[in-house]
Structure 1
Amino acid sequence: MTVIPLSAALRERTRAAHSSSESAGFMSALLKGERSRDDYVSLVAQHYFIYQALESAAERMRHDPIAARFISDRLTRLPALEADLEFLIGPDWRERIAPLPATAEYVARIAQVGRTWPGGFVAHHYTRYLGDLSGGLHIGKIVKRQFGFETNGSGFYVFNDIADPAAFKDVYREQLDSAPWDDEEKERVIAEVLVAYDFNTRVFEDLARACDEAIA
């Protein structure tokens, strides 16, 4: 019997959800130049709430022997998001942003698993950060070109401490494959990655609706 590594199973079984999230109307329009700077700022604001939850969970999970393997300060995005929002909105940015309904639910889910379930935390960590090191780098280049940013405004997409993203992702996948989870737990982790992709898609849908209503 052939044993399929967890990283390969994740990639195969979440392929459709990944594609659906990537092609969500808001992101597709943003990458085509059909969204405004204000729309992009709204996206950055939602990222702030998501990564605030994820990186708070990471601090709690640093003492878990399995989850700790995946946590790296080189991935930390919150300081970059804070700097981006100050540049994009101004020093009072904290008072001027709020999570959309889907974002609030996403944050609550990350907080829940980040308190109680290492495998669930890893599922959300994997979904966000490996995405950031893949398509996120491409998105960053497009955003910089569209809105004339240098680093300010798009620092979220810059990983100065990771010289070789492909090698970093390879090591991450090796850690997934060596995690001492039984088959039942692996299935739970895969299911939670699908939950994370669904939340991503719903956040994009909320963003599109909110941004379109703002100009209606």
Structure 2
Amino acid sequence: MSSNLATKLREGTKKAHTMAENTGFIACFLKGTVEPTSYRKLVANFYFVYAAMEEEMAKHQNHPVLGPLYFAELNRKASLEQDLTYYFGQNWRDQVAPSEAAQAYVDRIHEVAATEPELLIAHLYTRYMGDLSGGQILKKIAQNAMNLSDGQGTAFYEFENISDEKAFKKNYRERLDQVPVDEATADRIVDEANDAFGMNMTMFKELEGNLIKAIGIQLFNLLTRRNRRGGTELATAE
């Protein structure tokens, strides 16, 4: 049995993590440039991704491998619904749909849940650990860039039922290290996590068109070129 899955995931996804941060959309976001139209499209895409993850985890909460990693307090679907109501109004459901990349991401989540549920760990890790690690900083960036009042449009970043995010992440990593998977399965989980980063990157790249129109190609190139010289570590993983 593997006893160091958390370390395997952290080490095995470092390159993909850096690549995700260097997509134009995230590079600009981390430097305080957030274009409202593309941002709300991202919120909509996240809604469909998290709804898929949380639907499958609810089904598998008694699974011998996934069960110990089921934490209802991580769920983001309801908070994303709050944000979509803020950005689109009460009839947001009639206005949002997953992009092509988001739909492929959703399809993959359902596929692995049906065929090899252990691989869902990769998707949980890629999203939730990133949300907990950089959420508060990303929230402040979004608020400043879009002039949002506290509590408006940033519910996604609020984990109201987690009082100590650092302690929670430590506990989560310990749970990861205890899941009963062999080395071969652990390696497949790492591979799936790298694929999940790739799916996130494709979603981010879809959003760059609106961003470039808003800020201009020169500023976009300047922001992204500088980012490649020295990244941050916030966007999508621990």
Bin for the TM-score computed over the shorter chain:
over 0.9
1:32 deviates by 2.4
Partner of 2:229: none
Offset from partner CA, 1:14-47 (integer Å, 9 cap, x none): 1010111122111111232333222211111111
Partner of 1:171: 171
Quick one: distance in 1 between partners of 2:139 and 2:215? 25
User: Does 2:208 correspond to 1:202?
Assistant: no
Offset from partner CA, 1:88-129 (integer Å, 9 cap, x none): 111111111121111110010011112232211111111110
Where 2:89 maps in the other structure, the secondary structure is coil
Partner of 2:32: 33
Partner of 2:157: 157
Partner of 1:92: 91
Are residues 214 and 59 of structure 1, via their aligned partners in 2, closer, same or farther at CA, if it must alter by over 3 Å?
A: farther
- The aligned runs of 1:36-75 (5 Å cut-off) are 36-75=35-74
Partner of 2:191: 191
1:157 deviates by 0.3
Q: Unpaired runs of 5+ in structure 2? A: 217-238
1:209 deviates by 3.3
Quick one: distance in 1 between partners of 2:205 and 2:59? 30
Where 1:83 maps in the other structure, the secondary structure is helix
- Asked if 2 retains the 8 angstrom alpha-carbon contact of 1:30 and 1:40, the reply is no
Normalising by structure 2, what TM-score? 0.84
Matched AA of 1:162 = I
Normalising by structure 1, what TM-score? 0.92
Offset from partner CA, 1:113-164 (integer Å, 9 cap, x none): 1223221111111111011001233211211222232112000001111111
Structure number with greater CO (CA < 8 Å, separation at least 6) is 2
User: Does 2:67 correspond to 1:76?
Assistant: no
- When the two chains are superposed, the root-mean-square deviation of aligned CA atoms in Å is 1.9
Matched AA of 2:132 = L
Quick one: distance in 1 between partners of 2:30 and 2:95? 25
Q: Unpaired runs of 5+ in structure 1? A: none
Quick one: distance in 1 between partners of 2:151 and 2:9? 33
Quick one: distance in 2 between partners of 1:144 and 1:70? 31
User: Does 2:117 correspond to 1:106?
Assistant: no
- Asked if 2 retains the 8 angstrom alpha-carbon contact of 1:100 and 1:207, the reply is no
Work out the percentage of aligned pairs sharing the same amino acid: 37
1:177 deviates by 0.9
Quick one: distance in 1 between partners of 2:144 and 2:126? 26
Quick one: distance in 2 between partners of 1:171 and 1:35? 33
Where 1:133 maps in the other structure, the secondary structure is helix
Quick one: distance in 1 between partners of 2:210 and 2:144? 24
- Asked if 2 retains the 8 angstrom alpha-carbon contact of 1:53 and 1:107, the reply is yes
Where 2:207 maps in the other structure, the secondary structure is helix
